[in-house]
Structure 1
């Protein structure tokens, strides 16, 4: 019977706990969180078996320790637990979205003690937070990246961790911490910077023209959604992945100069090719796999904007027991089909909603 300590009982830690319990029901899971109410909720929801108020009281009997907190706090926790008595052959892992700095720290702290540290990054999330939003299937079909320490990790220990996390039904991928941070920088960290920059640009021009904000309510608001992410989390990610991002900044300046030069000389063929190549690459991206940025499962419905139309649609979905996470009327619709946008928790719910609406109404539906 294995014993696991989860430090951090939010969405990620809670979902990992549920996935472990689903696959290994006899595993004892201890849970620690700075917020007492999160621990109480986690136990009530059967995410954990026992609440832990002092990590050092149980960590010495645990076979696995999962540090499920943001990257800055993860460093602090790793420092903290390195001072405790640890079980022989214990495996410690984290869930942070940057890996090089944390893996290097763990190697320095644990190498002489024979402790195995395996960096982890489950590339899935939700637009909801907290342990109440935890789901055992949150990571299903998502990529779960492992970045083992170069010093103490072996294939056997990595296999043991994968077995523990088998219930996530994630696609496990192993790579170096350095490779992980560069890939995450390209597909997640830098796009968040760009989204925030676009919003800053709009904010700047809004001071000159008050129409900016109302007209940005459509497509602009959608393509900059990720700019609404947690500022503290992104501050820490950017500081942790600084060297990679500095490199990507330079590449981005060169990319912007390239398209700027096409516009400056009026080279229509080059501009066309620029957008065509981008379209071809984007259209070739996998549609049904989870990536580094949580997907938005939106369905646009082309309905007339009249009183009662929302209740008509929601009534149809309610009859089929299809849950929605958000719904709103879109006023500015350039390049967006449909006046009503409905958001769902997953692809399956969106597909069922599309079939339900099209079967019972004459309204056209479109994927976002």
Structure 2
């Protein structure tokens, strides 16, 4: 009996979750789902062209199996999770579009949402539902070898929906985040991307500027004495220049607004330092330290919920996927309805 067969005493196949991209987040999601499944049967399939990532996912039992072929990985899936860099999402959606079964729910983990939602709306068929997702993580080391089921614990899991998003599909992804121990945060996609420009893209640009300026100076000496502060300050949000360029240009207006604000604030700090007045400078640093302290204390609290959609009543759809009763997804009943 293979992994698609039904549980004992039931003719219903076990639901399948396919994770496309077995990075830190993808493998951690698999581990989290395995840890919370209990006696509820679910098949988790992984796909990644990186053989080392696929091997690691199997080794730590984050997946039941991996498929090198994308179509083989997703054709029976009830839920597909894309853990991919932003430049890879649209091509992957194009490759999957004609192979997904009716009622399938697709979500992603990218840190920008407007370009992903646009791609999904343009590419996916009407019988497939898409919900934008972005789990916020605190890990400095993003190697897939560092995957852990606790990666999302008490941290925000952003969901971005549109007026046409299926409430049931939203509930599926919300339940998924809840099973991972995350705090679900509903945000408008434009609002989400504006925030990410400030906390991810612009800091990456500032890190690149810091590195550029340092290398223009006595880099040989600087590189020897640079420690934890320089390390933390020069971390970029992605490992490839292509991903950084797309994240910047896809969110250009927001990034430019943040850069303008930083430029103005740099002038303020320059004037404080040039004045030589310790009291004013101390006040500025004290304010920054207090702001960071407040953030560190509050980051694991439940986030505020913005624009929460009308969701179905319990039992949750995720639980119904395990054969505990309830309605089917709209796409399984009426594939003619508008997607998303």
Normalized against structure 1, the TM-score is what? 0.69
Q: Deviations over 1:55-107 (max 9, x none)?
A: 2235232110111111111222112212x232222110001111111111111
Query: Of 183, 190, 210, which residue of structure 2 is paired with 1:198?
Result: 210
1:113 aligns with 2:126: yes
What SS is found at the alignment partner of 2:132? strand
Q: Give the structure 2 partner of residue 187 of structure 1.
A: 199
Query: Of 287, 300, 322, which residue of structure 2 is paired with 1:277?
Result: 287
Query: Of 13, 24, 49, which residue of structure 2 is paired with 1:34?
Result: 49
Relative distance call for 1:270 and 1:67 in structure 2 (3 A) is: same
Contact 2:94 2:123 in 1 (8 A): yes
1:249 aligns with 2:262: no
What SS is found at the alignment partner of 1:169? coil
Distance 1:49 1:192 in 2: 36
Q: CA deviation at 1:135?
A: 1.2
Q: Deviations over 1:240-261 (max 9, x none)?
A: 3222112211121122223334
Q: Give the structure 2 partner of residue 177 of structure 1.
A: 189
Q: CA deviation at 1:204?
A: 1.5
Q: Deviations over 1:146-204 (max 9, x none)?
A: 112442x1332211222234331011111011111111111222122222222222221
Distance 2:141 2:272 in 1: 42
Counterpart mapping for 1:263-302 below 5 A: 263=273, 270-287=280-297, 289=299
Q: Which structure's residues are more often strand, by fraction? A: 1
Distance 1:262 1:125 in 2: 32
What SS is found at the alignment partner of 1:137? coil
Distance 2:231 2:254 in 1: 27
Query: Of 80, 98, 102, which residue of structure 1 is paired with 2:95?
Result: 80
Q: CA deviation at 1:113?
A: 1.2
Q: CA deviation at 1:270?
A: 4.7
Contact 2:46 2:73 in 1 (8 A): no
Distance 1:162 1:211 in 2: 50
Query: Of 83, 102, 105, which residue of structure 2 is paired with 1:68?
Result: 83
- Structure 1 residue runs without a partner (length 5+): 292-368
What SS is found at the alignment partner of 1:85? coil
What SS is found at the alignment partner of 1:118? strand
Distance 2:120 2:132 in 1: 9
Give the root-mean-square deviation of aligned CA atoms. 2.6
Contact 1:62 1:90 in 2 (8 A): yes
Aligned residues: 285
Query: Of 141, 163, 172, which residue of structure 1 is paired with 2:154?
Result: 141
Structure number with the bigger relative contact order (C-alpha 8 A, sep ≥ 6) is: 2
Distance 2:270 2:113 in 1: 35
Contact 1:15 1:136 in 2 (8 A): yes
Query: Of 225, 234, 247, which residue of structure 2 is paired with 1:237?
Result: 247
Distance 1:36 1:223 in 2: 30
Q: CA deviation at 1:17?
A: 0.9
Task: Please tell me whether Structure 1 or Structure 2 has the larger radius of gyration of its CA atoms.
Answer: 1
What SS is found at the alignment partner of 1:279? helix
